[in-house]
A = this chain, B = another copy of it.
Amino acid sequence: MVNLYLVRHGIAAEREEYPEDGVRPLTSEGKRKTKQVAQQLFKLGLQFDLILSSPLVRARQTADILKAIGLSSQLEESTDLTPEGSIYSWLTWWEEWRNKGGSSLALVGHEPNLGEWTEILVWGEAKGNLLVKKAGVIGVQLPESGSPIGRSLLFWLTPPKFLL
């Protein structure tokens, strides 16, 4: 199986302060809590071949924190992970990445996308019934061959408060 970890960005500044959604940064509380989550993931022994991040500032800052803690040496951005992104476009990328031998990947992005992508991978359709908190983490095992849609296994879902 191939392990996929989906991490929602941390607490970000309010929309009123930043008319352009893409530049909203993490608040200082958001940075602090995200760092605690990253440290806990590191303590639990997690390592990612690659962190793939939404280019939006609050996600990219979250991804930078994961990388700085030592969870991966590789970080790339993908527009598939923006709020407008599509799991089907990402899956094309992912199948290529898996075929090149990738085995542990972290995605950093947004809600409702991450929860819905998880539901599509595990149950084949999105009902919006996963609660994914800011800086929350999801773990899914994807199959080594064939489509992962409706064929993946959910092994982890945690809000940050149960990690700290």
Contacts and interface: CB of A to CB of B under 8 A. Distances in A.
A36 B129 CA distance: 30
A162 B157 CA distance: 10
B123 A127 contact: yes
Interface in A136-155: 141, 150-155
Interface in A109-164: 119, 122-123, 127, 129-131, 141, 150-159, 161-163
Given A156-B159, A157-B157, A150 B127 contact: yes
Interface residues of A, number: 22
Nearest to A138: B157
A158 B139 CA distance: 9
Contacts of A129: 122-123, 150-154
B158 A158 contact: yes
Contact of A158 (B127, B131, B162): B162
Copies in the complex: 2
A108 to B, nearest CB: 19
A160 to B, nearest CB: 12
A119 B150 CA distance: 13
Nearest to A128: B153
Interface of A: 44, 119, 122-123, 127, 129-131, 141, 150-159, 161-163
18 contacts: A44-B161, A44-B162, A122-B127, A122-B129, A122-B130, A123-B123, A123-B127, A127-B150, A129-B151, A129-B152, A129-B154, A131-B141, A131-B153, A156-B157, A156-B159, A157-B157, A157-B158, A158-B162
